[in-house]
Amino acid sequence: MTVRLGVLGARRGLSFAHSAKEGKSADLTLVSICDFSGKKLDAAAKNYNVKFHSDFKEMLASDIDAVVLANYFHEHAPYAIQAMEAGKHVLSETIPAGTMAEAVMLCEAVEKTGMTYMFAENYPFTKIGLAMRNEYKKDKIGKVIYAEGEYIHPIEATMLNTLSPGINHWRNWMPSTYYCTHALAPLMFITDCKPVRVNALSIANDNVAKGTTRRSDPMAVMLVTMNDGSVFRITGWVTAGGHGSRFRIIGEYGTLESPMPHEGGFFGNGRLTISQNELRKRELDTYSFSYSPEWPEDAKDAEKSGHGGGDYFMTKLFVEAINSQKAPAYFDVYDGAAMSAVAILGWRSALEKGKPYDIPDFRDENARNAYRNDFATPFRGTHNHPLLQPSVNGERVPSEEDIKVSEKIWSEL
C-alpha cells in the first residue's frame, strides 16, 4: 500500500516532505502540506507541487492516509487525537504530550481508533546508534548497568529569537527537562529498557539567555531508573557548552561509546569504541578497539536524509507499521507517553530538589487515572491550565534591552 501523506508544519516538516517527494521513503507519497503561516506556505509552494492548507481540519478531510506532526513542540497530542479520530495514521515529533493528561488521552485515542501511531524520535537511527544496538544484542558487554545520553545544542541569541517569535513562544518557556528524548530514546533503542522512575536537578544561569526573552534554565541532569534496574543519566536540550551528542553504555563486562564531539562534528568522527574488562574471557586482543560502522545494505538512502539518517528510518518504520497493521517497534504510543512523563515529571522532580517520581505504566487504567485530569504546564498561551514555573529560580526575567532586541528581530520576520 502506498501511503498518501500530509505534513503539518512547513519548516521542520519539510524534511519529511522532501523524503517523500524524492522517493526516499518506501511506499510514501506526499499529497499535502499544512501550516498556519501564509509565509511558510508560500515558501514551500516554490518547491512542492502538492495541495496546501492553512486549516488542519481541511487537510484531514482530504485524500490523505496519514499525517506527520511537526507543529509546535507542546501541541502534538491534540492534533494527533484529532487526526486519528478522522481515520488518519499519525507520525508525531518531539515529546508526544505536553501534559500528563494529554499522555493519557493520546494512549486511549490509539486504543479507541485502532490507527497507527508512532513517535518520530530520530536520534537512535544514526550509523552509530544502529551499530551500538547491534553490538549490545551480540552480548559484547553483558547486561547494561548504567548509561549516559547527552544532547548539547546551544543556539546564538539572534537565531534563537528568530526561532522563537513572541514572548509566549514555547522555546521561551520550555523547562530544561522537557526536550529529553534525543538523549533518552537512543539508550532505550540500544538496550530495549523502559523508564520507570525519574529524578532531576536543574541548573539556573541567566547569562546564556542574554539577548532573548527565554525564561528557563540552560541545563538539567536527569537520572532515569529503567525496568531492569539500570540507571541512565541524561540531559535535556542543553543550551550551554560546546555542541555535541554522545552516548555511553556501561555493561557488566564492557562499555560501548559513541565518539566525543571534539573528535569530529556534532555526532563525532563516526567511530564506535568497544571496551571489555577481565571479568569474563575477552573477545578483543586489547581492552578496547574502535571502528567506523556502515549503513545496513537496505538503508543506503539514509545518508541522504536529515538528522544523521534518522529521518529516513522514521518514515520507513512508519510505513511498515501501517502496512503490517502492527504497532511500531520504535516507538509506539506507550513508549512515547513514558518519555513524555520522564520530561514532565522530571521537571517536577527538579522543582522539588530531586524528589523521585514514578513513571506510570500507560497500559494500566489505574495508573492513567492518577493523571487523567493533570493539565499542569509551563507553557503560556490562551489555555487556563495550572502553570508550572519554567526555572528552579521561578523564571528568568528578561531585561528591557533583551526585550527590545528580541522585538526588533521579530518585527523583521
Q: What is the CATH number of the domain that holds 86?
A: 3.40.50.720
Query: Is the pLDDT at 19 greater than 70, yes or no?
Result: no
Q: Does one domain contain both 275 and 350?
A: yes
Q: Does one domain contain both 161 and 240?
A: yes
How far apart CA 43 and CA 291 sit, in angstroms, is 42
Q: What count of other Cβ atoms lies within 10 Å of the Cβ of residue 401?
A: 10
Residue 42 lies in a domain: yes
Q: Does one domain contain both 200 and 343?
A: yes
Residue 172 lies in a domain: yes
Q: Does one domain contain both 57 and 79?
A: yes
Predicted confidence band of residue 50 (pLDDT cuts 50, 70, 90): very high
Residue 409 lies in a domain: no
- Contact (Cβ atoms closer than 8 angstroms) between residue 217 and residue 176: yes
Region of residue 114 (left: phi > 0; alpha: psi -120 to 50; beta: else): left
Predicted confidence band of residue 60 (pLDDT cuts 50, 70, 90): very high
SS3 content of the chain, % helix, strand, coil (to 5): 35, 20, 45
H-run or E-run covering 248:
strand 244-251
Q: Does one domain contain both 157 and 236?
A: yes
Q: Does one domain contain both 131 and 250?
A: yes
Query: Is the pLDDT at 16 greater than 90, yes or no?
Result: no
pLDDT: is 207 or 20 the higher one? Answer: 207
Lowest mean per-residue pLDDT among 218-222, 223-227, 275-279, 390-394: 275-279
Q: Give tens-digit pLDDT for 351-389.
A: 999 999 999 999 999 999 999 999 999 999 878 899 999
Residue 377 lies in a domain: no
How far apart CA 247 and CA 232 sit, in angstroms, is 10
Q: Provide the pairing of β-strand 51-53 with 28-34.
A: parallel
Q: Does one domain contain both 51 and 34?
A: yes
Q: Does one domain contain both 172 and 314?
A: no
Q: What is the CATH number of the domain that holds 167?
A: 3.30.360.10
Q: Which domain holds residue 177?
A: 127-294+336-369
Shortest CA distance to 253 belongs to which of 403, 138, 116?
A: 138
Alpha-helix residue ranges (DSSP H) falling in 119-270 = 127-137, 157-163, 181-191
**pTM, 2 dp:** 0.95
**SS3 labels along 313-365:** HHHHHHHHHHHHCCCCCCCCHHHHHHHHHHHHHHHHHHHCCCCCEECCCCCCH
Q: Does one domain contain both 214 and 83?
A: no
| Structural domain total, the chain | 2
Q: Does one domain contain both 146 and 106?
A: no
Cis omega (within 30 of 0) for bond into 331 = yes
Q: What is the pLDDT of residue 22?
A: 59
pLDDT: is 284 or 117 the higher one? Answer: 117
Q: What is the pLDDT of residue 20?
A: 63
Q: Give tens-digit pLDDT for 291-300.
A: 999 888 767 6
Long-range contacts of 268-273 (CB under 8 A, 24+ apart): 268/128, 268/244, 270/127, 270/128, 272/128, 272/131, 272/132, 272/135
Q: What is the pLDDT of residue 308?
A: 63
Q: What is the pLDDT of residue 306?
A: 61
Q: Give tens-digit pLDDT for 321-338.
A: 999 999 999 999 999 999
Q: What is the pLDDT of residue 270?
A: 83
Q: What is the pLDDT of residue 316?
A: 86
Q: Does one domain contain both 139 and 117?
A: no
Q: Pseudo-torsion of CA 235, 236, 237, 239, nearest 10°?
A: -60
Q: What is the pLDDT of residue 381?
A: 83
Q: Give tens-digit pLDDT for 143-202.
A: 999 999 999 999 999 999 999 999 999 999 999 999 999 999 999 999 999 999 999 999
How far apart CA 82 and CA 60 sit, in angstroms, is 9
- How far, CA to CA in Å, does 182 sit from each of 41, 87, 307, 384, 387? 28, 29, 11, 30, 25
**Cα end-to-end span (Å), the chain:** 41
Q: Does one domain contain both 182 and 284?
A: yes
Query: Is the pLDDT at 61 greater than 60, yes or no?
Result: yes
Q: What count of other Cβ atoms lies within 10 Å of the Cβ of residue 360?
A: 21
Residue 413 lies in a domain: no
Residue 60 lies in a domain: yes
Q: What are φ and ψ of residue 348, in 5° steps?
A: -65, -35
Residue 408 lies in a domain: no
Residue 49 lies in a domain: yes
